Amino acid sequence: MSTAAFTLSSVPSELAIKRDRLLEVLRGLGSAAVAFSGGIDSTVVAQAAQLALGDRAVAITADSPSVPRAEIEEARRLAQRIGIRHQVVATAEFNNANYVRNDGSRCYFCKSELYSRLETLLPELGVSVICSGANLDDSGDYRPGLKAAAEHHVRHPLQEAGFTKADVRALALAWSLPTWDKPASPCLSSRLAPGVEVTRERTARVEEAEKYLHALGYRECRVRLHEGELARIEVPPSELARLLEPSIHQELVRRLKELGFRYVTLDLEGFRSGSLNQLVSLEYQRLFARQTP
């Protein structure tokens, strides 16, 4: 689809104003490397960067044991669809003891590794600015990654243009991006409760467990790993009953124990993003609170 088709597509006036502001923010950067996970936020930023900057924009996807293989492949497909330059780069956060310790600051060290890696690539990519997919709704949550972003002078075009999560989804739909209704998909390490050491074996186990739930038709789900190798499964409340059907839950328990979980539990509150943040100490929440410039 042409640039004109995107920029002139019919959208509500308020969203059109934000869309134009987003494109203007990106044009003002001159060039940009988008930290591109393939999620809805970074996909919208990548599409906008391609429209605003053309070949002066590049999408970069991190590859580590914390990223599901399916997400990397989807990022490749999306970048090709958008038409933006794309690179997949290996990151080494699993070599950092501060990350592996998983004491509530893990995301800070992950993003520090990512942005440091991107900074080394900027000269050869011919770009000067790193952009994230953070939107306004991210400002009110526990987000130590935003502190790392500030330290590396990362820009947040969606925030600068006034986008909420709902705005991002609306623009993705207007631009016919297939991720417009994609559920959030944070990294696999985020499934491990604070205090549970991050290992390649554990993230791989969580990936396989969630892949099994997806195969059962659960589009939005989490398998949280707690101390004692306990799996806490979250699915939407409306879908809890189905998971308790004998033919399903017995096979589910068998499969998760086969993967190495010792206990398999179902969270009766149902799916909710960031439920493990409740276990992060107030000390860390204060330490990594986002500072307002």
pLDDT in tens, 17-71: 999 999 999 999 999 999 999 999 999 999 999 999 999 999 999 999 999 999 9
pLDDT of 231 above 80: yes
| Residue ranges of the chain that CATH labels 3.30.70 | 188-272
pLDDT at 39: 93
Helices (H) and strands (E) in the chain, counts: 13, 7
pLDDT in tens, 127-142: 999 999 999 988 766 6
Q: Identify residue 65 by its one-letter amino acid code.
A: P
- List b or e across 75-110, with b for residues whose CB sees 16 or more CB atoms inside 10 angstroms: beebbeebbbbbebeebebbeeeebbebebbbbbbb
Q: Residue range 251-264: average pLDDT?
A: 97
Would you place residue 2 in the very low, low, confident or very high pLDDT band (cuts 50, 70, 90)? very low
Q: How far apart are CA 41 and CA 190, in angstroms?
A: 18
Of the listed ranges 36-50, 105-119, 129-143, 216-230, the one predicted with least confidence: 129-143
| Residue ranges of the chain that CATH labels 3.40.50.620 | 3-174
pLDDT of 290 above 70: no
pLDDT at 64: 95
231 DSSP β-pair partners = 225, 264
Which superfamily does 3-174 belong to?
Answer: HUPs (3.40.50.620)
pLDDT at 62: 96
In CATH terms, 188-272 corresponds, of 3.40.50, 2.60.40, 2.20.25, 3.30.70, to 3.30.70
pTM over 0.85: yes
Tally of CB atoms within 10 A around 281 = 11
Closest CA to 133 of 97, 90, 189, 177: 177
pLDDT at 10: 63
